[in-house]
Amino acid sequence: MDHRELTIAGAWELTPRQFGDHRGVFLEWFRQSTFADVVGRTLDLAQANCSVSAAGVLRGIHYADVPPGQAKYVTCVSGSVLDVVVDLRVGSPTFGQWDSVLLDTVDRRAIFLSEGLGHGFLALEDHSTVVYLCSTGYAPEREHEVHPLDPALGIDWPTSGPGGPLTFELSAKDQAAPTLAEAHDAGRLPRF
């Protein structure tokens, strides 16, 4: 498995080796021992999620209270998404910065995000299917969001995908999400 640490400490891109022939492709998208060698820790699995989105659906930026936080290991098994990690940890040298990874069915990359980091993605084509492993289970009282279109974040969301132009579609919760400054001023962000 190839890997690189993203510009946000605690976030990694992992690209599996693919073995293909006339029948199709086989790959390991997660192996605990390889993951631990790359990232320097294990991923305790508490929940696995699957999200299917139409082109233009923008989900995030989501994060959980720390402690315990929620680490995520994310990949796209159908379609393609731009997956984004945002450093929401107050006091971090990269606070408010973001990095992204294209997750698709070509390179079949995965992204790992440590606790305290924000996560979101934009579906670039219809039926984009994202699966992710989570270190803690969903707990609504610990879950928060920052508006993904906050100009202060300046995330460069694509405006077109393989099928043409994209019109962003956000959930009501994400539309009502505070900006990074509002979440900071309210004391809702994790500490580095």
Instruction: Encode pLDDT of 107-136 as tens digits.
Output: 999 999 999 999 999 999 999 999 999 999
Active-site annotation holder among 73, 132, 144, 147: 132
Active site residue 62: yes
pLDDT at 121: 98
Strands 11-15 and 47-53: unpaired
Using H for helix, E for strand and C for coil, what is the string for 74-117?
Answer: EEEEECEEEEEEEECCECCCCCCCEEEEEEECCCCCEEEECCCE
| Domains of the chain: total | 1
pLDDT at 74: 98
Distance of CA 40 to the CA centre of its chain: 19
Rounded to an integer, what distance in angstroms lies between the CA atom of residue 102 and that of residue 111?
Answer: 9
* 23 located within any domain: yes
* 56 located within any domain: yes
* pLDDT average, residue stretch 94-99: 98
* 192 located within any domain: no
* 190 located within any domain: no
pTM of the complete model: 0.95
**In this structure, which long-range contacts are made by residues 158-165, counting pairs with CB atoms below 8 Å and at least 24 apart in sequence?**
158/82, 158/122, 158/124, 161/55, 161/56, 161/80, 161/123, 161/124, 161/125, 162/80, 162/124, 162/125, 163/55, 163/125, 163/126
**Helix (H, G, I), strand (E, B), or coil: what is residue 182?**
helix
Active-site annotation holder among 62, 119, 144, 147: 62
For residue 107, give the CATH number of its domain.
2.60.120.10
pLDDT at 19: 97
Domain extent at residue 65 = 2-185
* 156 located within any domain: yes
Q: What is the pLDDT of residues 42-95, one digit of tens each?
A: 999 999 999 999 999 999 999 999 999 999 999 999 999 999 999 999 999 999
pLDDT band at 149 (very low <50, low <70, confident <90, very high): very high
Both tokens of residue 84? 């984004």
* 43 located within any domain: yes
* 98 located within any domain: yes
Report which secondary-structure segment, H or E, holds 32.
Answer: helix 32-39
pLDDT at 147: 98
**Helix (H, G, I), strand (E, B), or coil: what is residue 64?**
strand
Report which secondary-structure segment, H or E, holds 128.
Answer: strand 128-134
Could you tell me which of 16, 148, 20, 133 has the C-alpha nearest to residue 85?
Answer: 148
Could you tell me which of 70, 57, 51 has the C-alpha nearest to residue 139?
Answer: 70
Both tokens of residue 188? 């809702």
Rounded to an integer, what distance in angstroms lies between the CA atom of residue 20 and that of residue 65?
Answer: 41
* 51 located within any domain: yes
Active site residue 22: no
